[in-house]
């Protein structure tokens, strides 16, 4: 499990992270429920993740993330959050943005992800009133443009 992680591994790590965040700990049944998978499938992956140094796992015990596992999941969370924020900035509805962010986070190159992150940080930081006003004006223009396009599509 060196180099780029597979989508499946990333999804498992995220599921473990989310269960731990919600419940304080994770067990096989929690992860299998979160991912809609059979417990036996989850056990197999936990063994691989343990071998890769991402989780602490003992049969029938609680599952925790190692420092390496935490580092990866924090990066994954930041990546997804960046895409969700970007999609919401361009007025994608929240529930669709969440689904699409999951797709984007696995498909784009690191340099592209870095530029998305920079753009979202740039557009959302409030450094000066003048810049904030120009961003607000731009977003008003974009919303108006979207409304016009929607009404044009309906006609």
Mean pLDDT value across the chain: 91
Summarised one tens digit per residue, pLDDT across range 61-92 is 999 999 999 999 999 999 999 999 999 999 99
Statement to judge: residues 96 and 144 lie in one domain:
yes
Mean pLDDT of 114-137: 83
Statement to judge: residues 41 and 111 lie in one domain:
no
Q: Is residue 99 part of a domain?
A: yes
Q: How confident is the model at residue 1 (pLDDT cuts 50, 70, 90)?
A: low
We report the CATH number of the domain holding residue 104 as 1.10.60.10
Rounded CA separation 155/153 (Å): 6
Higher pLDDT, 85 or 155: 85
Statement to judge: residues 148 and 95 lie in one domain:
yes
Whether 134 shows a pLDDT value over 60: the answer reads: yes
Statement to judge: residues 102 and 129 lie in one domain:
yes
Q: Which domain holds residue 137?
A: 75-154
- Eight-state DSSP code of residue 63: B
Summarised one tens digit per residue, pLDDT across range 104-119 is 988 888 899 999 999 9
Contacts of 34 (CB under 8 A, 6+ apart): 15, 18, 19
Statement to judge: residues 83 and 54 lie in one domain:
no
The pLDDT value recorded for residue 30 is 96
Q: Which of 44, 65, 86 is the last residue of a domain?
A: 65
Q: How confident is the model at residue 124 (pLDDT cuts 50, 70, 90)?
A: confident
What's the pTM?
0.80
- Eight-state DSSP code of residue 26: B
Statement to judge: residues 43 and 109 lie in one domain:
no
In the chain, pLDDT over 70 holds for what percent of residues?
A: 97
Q: Is residue 111 part of a domain?
A: yes
Whether the CB-CB separation of 32 and 26 falls below 8 Å is answered with: no
Higher pLDDT, 54 or 132: 54
Rounded CA separation 94/152 (Å): 24
Statement to judge: residues 100 and 80 lie in one domain:
yes
Q: Is residue 51 part of a domain?
A: yes
Rounded CA separation 98/38 (Å): 25
Statement to judge: residues 148 and 81 lie in one domain:
yes
The pLDDT value recorded for residue 3 is 62
The pLDDT value recorded for residue 127 is 67
Q: How many domains does the chain have?
A: 2
Statement to judge: residues 45 and 101 lie in one domain:
no
Q: How confident is the model at residue 142 (pLDDT cuts 50, 70, 90)?
A: very high
Kindly report the three-state secondary structure assignment for every residue of 93-144.
CHHHHHHHHHHHHHHCCHHHHHHHHHHHHHHHCCCCHHHHHHHHHHHHHHHH
Statement to judge: residues 84 and 45 lie in one domain:
no
Statement to judge: residues 61 and 79 lie in one domain:
no
Statement to judge: residues 88 and 139 lie in one domain:
yes
């Amino acid at each position: 499990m060196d180099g780029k992680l597979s989508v499946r591994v990333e999804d498992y790590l995220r599921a473990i992270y989310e269960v731990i965040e919600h419940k304080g700990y994770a067990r096989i049944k929690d992860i299998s429920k979160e991912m809609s998978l059979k417990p036996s499938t989850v056990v197999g992956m936990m063994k691989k993740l343990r071998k890769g140094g991402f989780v602490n796992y003992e049969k029938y015990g609680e599952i925790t993330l190692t420092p390496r596992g935490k580092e990866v999941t924090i990066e994954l969370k930041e990546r997804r959050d960046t895409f969700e924020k970007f999609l919401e900035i361009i007025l994608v509805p929240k529930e669709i943005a969440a689904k699409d962010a999951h797709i984007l986070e696995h498909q784009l190159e690191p340099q592209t992800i870095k530029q998305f992150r920079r753009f979202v940080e740039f557009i959302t930081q409030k450094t000066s009133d003048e810049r904030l006003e120009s961003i607000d004006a731009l977003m008003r223009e974009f919303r108006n443009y979207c409304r016009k396009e929607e009404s044009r599509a309906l006609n």
